Chains A and B, each alone.
Chain A
């Protein structure tokens, strides 16, 4: 049973608009969350993180929101650019318990010019 779910396998957005990628988790012990971006034939690269003591973290065009009661987080990209087209992975861990990260299946984002 997947502990981290990304229910949208793919998402298409027009350039300049907002992209919203969603992630749900089942383990209430998860207290640290990461988003990675992955281009074809490359390894994932870290994008942004959030810990459970916050409900929002922002870095330039990227903002991650955490709703602990709903066990849901989302990544907002504003404005979306063609170079953002990639697969985005959500990852979660019970970091305070020394646990490893668990990854979601990923969402493929296509930003259309």
Chain B
């Protein structure tokens, strides 16, 4: 029972490089989310999706893009990484939106130098 799986777990990027974080869930959830966690800031929503083929901006979307071509996958892209994007990124999925709990992946620690 995998739940939510994120790849990679760790990554170091140089400023200006691009990368894609992969998220896969096997629970047939409609809703998927990308968060970033920074010290003292809690979890802040970057982008989310309410179903296959849909995406929407969250609280801190600038510098990121997402795609949800398949229901089970949600991809987060950084086109031109900046040191301010150094963070721990979490993907999550849920059955409902604002009234059910979410299941989180184990996180991706990204460092931009």
**Chain A residues proximal to chain B, CB less than 8 Å:** 4, 6, 9, 32, 34, 36, 41-46, 49, 51, 89, 91, 93-101, 103-106
Contacts and interface: CB of A to CB of B under 8 A. Distances in A.
Interface string B75-113: 000000000000000101000111101111111000000
Nearest to B104: A43
Interface residues of B, number: 24
B98 A101 contact: yes
Nearest to A35: B101
B103 A51 contact: no
A97 B98 contact: yes
Contacts of A104: 42
Interface of B: 4, 33, 35, 40-45, 48, 58, 90, 92, 96-99, 101-107
A32 B99 contact: yes
B102 A46 contact: yes
B30 to A, nearest CB: 13
B43 A94 contact: no
